[in-house]
Structure 1
Amino acid sequence: MGRKLKVAIIGCGGIANGKHMPSLTKVGQVEITAFCDIIRQRAEEAATKYGVVDAKVYENYKDLLLDSSIDVVHVCTPNISHAEISIAALEAGKHVMCEKPMAKTSEEALRMVEVARKTGKKLTIGYNNRFRQDSQYLHKVTQAGDLGEIYYAKAHAIRRRAVPTWGVFLDEEKQGGGPLIDIGTHALDLTLWMMNNYKPKVVLGTAYHKLGKKKNAANAWGSWDPKKFTVEDSAFGFITMENGATITLESSWALNSLDVDEAKCSLSGTEGGADMKGGLRINGERYGKLYDTTIELNAGGVAFYDGNEESDADLEARLWIESILNDTEPIVKPEEALVVTQILEAIYESATTGKAIYF
């Protein structure tokens, strides 16, 4: 394709400015031609900073989707509108990158998959942690079978005190949940991808709203307002897969724990194990002895050159655009993201009902 892909951004808030727009500007085959936000000033500022000279600005995404010249849409809005906007964009003939989580509910996520298949347009979800160097390396290890059958895994998303106090993060109606759907989703996606296992059988979950009630609490981004804190502050899941494998999922924005890890996983297989704690570590048994090794991910070794590769966000953006240009499957397939949403929803349902949820 000789011409550049024309990309539109719907939702010009934190994640668009922090990840999507800066990374897209580094992809040579792209130009960002349209920006939409319910707060027009945000869209205008984004257009000035990241757009082409004659970039268009909208307040209503439906108006933006009428532009037939737009090839790709990035949906960077609150969770409640992910499905609505993504489906409308697919039906308007656009390829869609939707921020994580895929949708607020599994029903919405399933509809997104169905519409993508029907329209023939590509759909992917913004699970950028797959594109980190440690994730990319570990995925090669697991897919090569070096760990054997992975039958036990842990998905880590624990913050000690880092509650996002801006935007709609604390609003259950707009987000669908708290740390589980916000950062637990990254850890679960990473774990399922490493295991290449997307067939859950039964889920048991718990969710807590304990520390969120505290006033004047210590927090990375300043104290939260307990009255506005309508989502859980921590949630945990126990997942059994159809093949008998077990996954434990831990997530928190606020938890009295020094064992802090986010968007990481630990894997245990028949031939070896791995974790992302203190670097990427592989462990196993060889010649009758146990071993563990830390993988050196820094490609440096030359003076004044640290060997840093593309950031996860930059690699995510580039490979997404290349999947469109080359007509190949995106790294994050919508069917995989759907299973993540289904499991998260089951954890919430189990936490509410006190019952195990069977698939």
Structure 2
Amino acid sequence: MSLKVGIIGCGGIANGKHLPALAEVKEVELVAFCDLIVERAEEAKMHYGTLTAKTFTDYQEMLKDVELDIVHVCTPNNSHAELSIAAMKADCHVMCEKPMAKTAEQARSMIEAAKKTGKKLTIGYQNRFRKDSMYLHEICQEEELGDIYFAKAHAIRRRAVPTWGVFLDEEAQGGGPLIDIGTHALDLTLWMMNNYKPKYVVGNTYHKLSETENAANAWGPWNPKEFTVEDSAFGYIVMENGAAIFLESSWALNSLDVKEAKTTLSGTKGGADMNDGLTINGEDHSMLFEKKIELEPGGVDFYDGAGDKPEVLEAQSWIDAILNDTDPVVKPEEALVVTEILEAIYQASQTNQPVFLNQ
């Protein structure tokens, strides 16, 4: 069976992740491409589309004109909810790029639309499909670490501010590194803990290095006048069962402790970190141990053991969920909690007060 897929937003994340990943899934036909800049839609069609694929600059026209099974939403955060809801109402399953939405209210409206239409909805947290993530999740499910009561979610860059598109635009994105890369680290951490019941949140955001002229940066200097989002954000989340999570996120920080989309876990039976590969630690017969996990087989000529990329595994898993009518790996209710926590950190920073959730 072949599923017909349409793409809304043919920019960086579509070309860097969604389109090449979907192209490797044999059950998929890429038949519609929509972008406000028609040349981008045409280029995406040329590289990935079927012979009869169509291009659009209006997503409503695409949804009316082409019979689609699935839509991937790859646009700025402020349009995620509007586009996802419209696609589900047009009888399409939806994968929306992370974060789920600019606001928690918008994210909740997406879940309501999924329930009303009966369509599947998932969010693009591809880091769950890394080898280290999948291995660690498995041992967490088997309770090898015991009760995980403290964790750290890491998303720190020393100088890697995205200077293209709308990343620096608060109105379009809703925030900076917290909502961009902090969201990945938090999703991984909550998934490992299998704990989606936050009680309260405190946090701070900073506009410090964003004011630097001619700054050193992986993608060239940023314009301080256009840098309307935070450059760093930090949050402390307390869950209903007493567990705590420290979330750190930054695009630009004077630190050599750089790590992105990683988690550190501490449980009653053991701990784990992704700091230098994946390491499990614990105590055995009154002795402490560290176990380094070898995630690649190695040692075989002409084979690097890399396996499928996380984004390809994500795409295949998503398509399989639709074909087999099963839940997607990333459930929208889980992604909603991530958005609620991120929103609470921003609010706590503005008010200098804890923000209580689920009250």
Is residue 216 of structure 2 the alignment partner of residue 218 of structure 1?
A: yes
- Displacement, 1:67? 3.4
- Displacement, 1:237? 0.2
Q: How do residues 109-148 of structure 1 correspond to structure 2 at under 5 angstroms? A: 109-148=107-146
Check the 8 A contact 1:24/1:317 in 2, yes or no. Answer: yes
Aligned-partner SS, 1:155: strand
Q: How do residues 158-169 of structure 1 correspond to structure 2 at under 5 angstroms? A: 158-169=156-167
- Displacement, 1:68? 5.3
Aligned partner of 1:150 in structure 2 is 148
Is residue 68 of structure 2 the alignment partner of residue 70 of structure 1?
A: yes
Deviations 1:210-248 (A, max 9, x none): 000010000000000000000000000000000000000
- Displacement, 1:156? 0.1
Deviations 1:85-137 (A, max 9, x none): 00000111100000000000000000001110111100000000000000000
Q: Provide the C-alpha distance between the structure 2 equivalents of 1:200 and 1:67, rounded to a whole number of angstroms.
A: 43
Unaligned runs of 5+ in 2: none
Aligned partner of 1:300 in structure 2 is 298
Q: Provide the C-alpha distance between the structure 1 equivalents of 2:213 and 2:80, rounded to a whole number of angstroms.
A: 32
Is residue 23 of structure 2 the alignment partner of residue 22 of structure 1?
A: no
Q: How do residues 130-209 of structure 1 correspond to structure 2 at under 5 angstroms? A: 130-209=128-207
Deviations 1:286-314 (A, max 9, x none): 01100001100002332221111110000
Task: Give the percent of matched residue pairs that are identical in Structure 1 and Structure 2.
Answer: 68
Aligned-partner SS, 2:179: helix
Bigger shift: residues 297-306 or 342-351: 297-306
Aligned-partner SS, 1:66: helix
The structure 2 residue matched to 1:240, chosen from 233, 238, 241, is 238
Q: Provide the C-alpha distance between the structure 2 equivalents of 1:155 and 1:245, rounded to a whole number of angstroms.
A: 13
Aligned partner of 1:284 in structure 2 is 282
Check the 8 A contact 1:116/1:123 in 2, yes or no. Answer: yes
Check the 8 A contact 1:300/1:308 in 2, yes or no. Answer: no
Q: Which amino acid aligns with 1:305?
A: Y
Aligned partner of 1:265 in structure 2 is 263
Q: Provide the C-alpha distance between the structure 2 equivalents of 1:301 and 1:282, rounded to a whole number of angstroms.
A: 23
Q: Which amino acid aligns with 2:279?
A: R
Q: Provide the C-alpha distance between the structure 2 equivalents of 1:306 and 1:37, rounded to a whole number of angstroms.
A: 37
Deviations 1:40-91 (A, max 9, x none): 0000000000000011000000111113521000000000100000000011
Runs of 4+ in 1 over 2 A off after TM superposition: none
Name the count of aligned residue pairs: 357
Check the 8 A contact 2:237/2:244 in 1, yes or no. Answer: yes
Check the 8 A contact 2:32/2:66 in 1, yes or no. Answer: no
- Displacement, 1:253? 0.3
Q: Provide the C-alpha distance between the structure 2 equivalents of 1:225 and 1:307, rounded to a whole number of angstroms.
A: 42
Is residue 327 of structure 2 the alignment partner of residue 329 of structure 1?
A: yes
Q: CA RMSD in A?
A: 0.6
Q: How do residues 86-97 of structure 1 correspond to structure 2 at under 5 angstroms? A: 86-97=84-95
Unaligned runs of 5+ in 1: none
Q: Given the two structures, how large is their TM-score scaled by the length of structure 2?
A: 0.99
